[in-house]
């Protein structure tokens, strides 16, 4: 594993659903090319065993953009669950695939739409389905 990349943890349920989603995309789809390596390097646990500070699918998290200090709250969703609220991010979006499997305190460097590289930190997992007992969502 690349020592510059934080460890990732996924639930087996999320992995199964994400692999099915990836199979629906072409092999050259940029979203697939970004997400597939992340899934391949993750530690996979049964949903009930996922630590409660890990970003899983349908988790609501508070991020910190370290350069600006902004702290947006976002819910990580499957593409079918996106809406116009601006409070949800698809797992197929670059930042979505980047935060999946991270834990509170983890930081990543991420290219922003303007071309700048920004360091992003997972500040808090506000809601996690596994922690709330929603294991078969």
94's enclosing H/E stretch is helix 94-99
CATH numbers and ranges of domains, the chain: 9-127 (3.10.50.30)
Do residues 106 and 119 make contact, with C-beta atoms less than 8 angstroms apart?
Answer: no
More confident residue, 26 or 114: 26
pLDDT at 3: 53
pLDDT at 1: 46
Reply yes or no on whether the pLDDT at 10 is more than 90: yes
pLDDT at 21: 96
Write the pLDDT tens digit of every residue in 39-62: 999 999 999 999 999 999 999 999
Write the pLDDT tens digit of every residue in 61-114: 999 999 889 999 999 999 999 988 889 999 999 889 999 999 999 999 877 667
Taking the C-alpha atoms of residue 7 and residue 69, their distance in angstroms, rounded to an integer, is: 24
């Amino acid at each position: 594993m690349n020592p510059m990349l934080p460890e990732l943890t996924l639930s087996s349920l999320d992995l199964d659903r994400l692999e099915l989603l990836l199979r629906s995309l072409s092999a050259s789809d940029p979203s697939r090319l970004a997400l597939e390596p992340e899934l391949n390097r993750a530690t996979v646990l049964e949903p009930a065993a996922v630590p409660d500070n890990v970003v899983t699918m349908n988790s609501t998290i508070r991020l910190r953009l370290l350069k600006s200090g902004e702290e947006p709250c976002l819910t990580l969703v499957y593409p079918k669950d996106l809406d116009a609220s601006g409070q949800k991010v698809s797992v197929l979006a670059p930042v979505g695939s980047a935060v999946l499997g991270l834990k509170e305190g983890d930081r990543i460097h991420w290219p922003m739409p303007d071309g700048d590289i920004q360091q992003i930190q997972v500040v808090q997992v506000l809601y996690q389905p596994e922690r709330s007992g929603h294991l078969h969502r």
